[in-house]
Copies of this chain bind each other. A is one copy, B any other.
Amino acid sequence: MTFVERVTREGSPDFVPVPERIAVFDNDGTLWAEQPMYFQGFFVIDRVKALGPQHPEWQTKEPFASVRKGDIKGVAAAGEKGAMEMLAATHTGMTTEEFTRTVSDWIATARHPGTGKLYTDMVYQPMLELLAYLRANGFKTFIVSGGGSEFMRPWTERVYGIPPEQVVGSSVRMKLEMRDGRPVLVKLPEIDLNDDKDGKPVGIQSRIGRRPVMAFGNSDGDLQMLQWTTAGDGPRFAMYVHHTDAAREWAYDRDSHVGRLDKGLDEAAAKDWTVVSMGEDWKTIYRN
């Protein structure tokens, strides 16, 4: 009997009542691809280019100057500090409504430089089927991602069937302001939740308030979420998606800079968690 059959069969010793059927999914590398960098990174680059004319100082200021020249090495040289400056410049200062509109416009048209596909066509077909299967069995499906909650919410309902209120992501603080007698929320350059690693159980507890029964990830950044999920009483399920298909997608794990899966692979083996090999187990990769 599968795990889902066990927890949904009335009278089963492992039965889990419907309200407690919470399943959490990482996004980058678990529900959609994440190479050669997180797709939100492409959004940042496109925004820096689009906003350039309003920022003449970026012509000389790094890493903005390198972004505009397409000089990846120059961008990388600016390191974490440079990345945070670009995030602040592209994700804060505007209202939540303005940011949502910008994301919606971008996600509808931007294409991945390698595959030429819309980013939302690089979501994994088997994971879409898994989401639908779990929901058909009374599970509420949540995203718990290091990506920005405001970056994901404009399209997760359409693409994954996951509504905004079931999207937990990294976020910045916000400030309520009255503009022309109308309240707006302005995004501030100050981290509210860093929803990665230790931040994932924190995000789950603060936003969902109930320990998940099932958790799905693909990297060491998801390890704490899988540990937190499986540390609960009763039946719990943890799964890693393992990127093993260089021909149809990408192959990477222990040495990757994006989506590194190292400690997680060891712990999955030790704890007998499910590890899905994209190359061997998935007939289709991207959504049909």
The answer to whether A210 and B174 touch across the interface, beta carbons within 8 angstroms, is no
The answer to whether B176 and A207 touch across the interface, beta carbons within 8 angstroms, is no
Residue A206 contacts which of B174, B208, B228 (CB distance < 8 angstroms)? B174
A224 to B184, CA, bound (A): 11
Residue A182 contacts which of B96, B174, B198, B231 (CB distance < 8 angstroms)? B231
Number of copies of this chain that the complex holds: 2
The answer to whether B164 and A209 touch across the interface, beta carbons within 8 angstroms, is yes
- Taking A182-B231, A227-B183 as contacts, is the C-beta distance between A210 and B171 under 8 angstroms? no
- Chain B CB within 8 A of A165 CB: yes
Residue numbers in B under 8 Å from A207 (CB-CB): 165, 207
- Chain B CB within 8 A of A22 CB: yes
Residue numbers in B under 8 Å from A166 (CB-CB): 165
Can you give 21 A-B contacts (C-beta < 8 A)?
Answer: A22-B165, A142-B165, A153-B209, A164-B209, A164-B210, A165-B166, A165-B207, A165-B209, A165-B210, A173-B202, A174-B205, A175-B202, A176-B198, A176-B201, A176-B228, A183-B201, A183-B224, A183-B228, A185-B205, A192-B206, A207-B207
Closest 9 CB pairs of A and B: A164-B209, A176-B198, A164-B210, A165-B208, A153-B209, A174-B202, A183-B227, A183-B228, A182-B231
